[in-house]
Chain A
Amino acid sequence: DAGVIQSPRHEVTEMGQEVTLRCKPISGHDYLFWYRQTMMRGLELLIYFNNNVPIDDSGMPEDRFSAKMPNASFSTLKIQPSEPRDSAVYFCASSLRQGGQPQHFGDGTRLSIL
């Protein structure tokens, strides 16, 4: 069984550039989550989707961040323009449904903005 697949694994880019992170959830999962992990703020939820529809984007830090889920097997998180404070590890996760269902995480994208 393929797990959640994220790409790229590492991204280094200069401030002001557009960054696009990609995620392929586990087939059949209804929910998709984007998280950001930093030393200062820990693991924080940015946005989540149910059946490809954004449900809660209250964690998205500002308008420079956007996320889409055009179909059940693909999602993107975009940062435009990127800033050094966006440097973090970004995780995508998917789950079957809410409640006590565990989330399955990808291995993350380590983003460095110079």
Chain B
Amino acid sequence: DQQVKQNSPSLSVQEGRISILNCDYTNSMFDYFLWYKKYPAEGPTFLISISSIKDKNEDGRFTVFLNKSAKHLSLHIVPSQPGDSAVYFCAATGTGKSTFGDGTTLTVKP
């Protein structure tokens, strides 16, 4: 039973355009959602988070949207840059631990 799902294994966008990465979850008890970025041969690094009581959080080029009724969140990157090319993980936290999705590989083409 996978509680956090990222249904798109990969996404390719042109530099300067918007990247939208999606994540679905099943457990309504999750209270925080986080996005991490991972480059090859490195550990994941935190990008942005959102509390379950909010529907939007913005940090520079990165915005996370949460739709609780649909149990869906998305990460928007505007404008996308080649340095954004990485694997993006969605994570959800509940009682003390985080559950991660399988990741989406984003490729931003110059």
Contacts and interface: CB of A to CB of B under 8 A. Distances in A.
Interface string A65-106: 000000000000000000000000001010000111011111
B88 interface: no
A4 B42 CA distance: 12
Given A43-B89, A45-B97, A103 B46 contact: yes
Contact of A42 (B45, B51, B103): B103
A99 B45 contact: no
A100 B45 contact: no
A25 interface: no
For chain B, which range describes its interface: under 10, 10 to 19, 20 to 34, or 35 or more residues?
20 to 34
A99 B32 contact: yes
Nearest to A106: B43
A70 B25 CA distance: 35
Given A100-B32, A102-B34, A102-B49, A93 B43 contact: yes
Interface in A53-75: 55-56
Interface of A: 4, 33, 35, 42-45, 48, 50, 55-56, 91, 93, 98-100, 102-108
Interface of B: 31-32, 34, 36, 41-46, 49, 51, 89, 93, 96-103
Given A33-B98, A98-B93, A104-B46, 5 more contacts: A44-B100, A50-B96, A100-B34, A102-B34, A103-B46
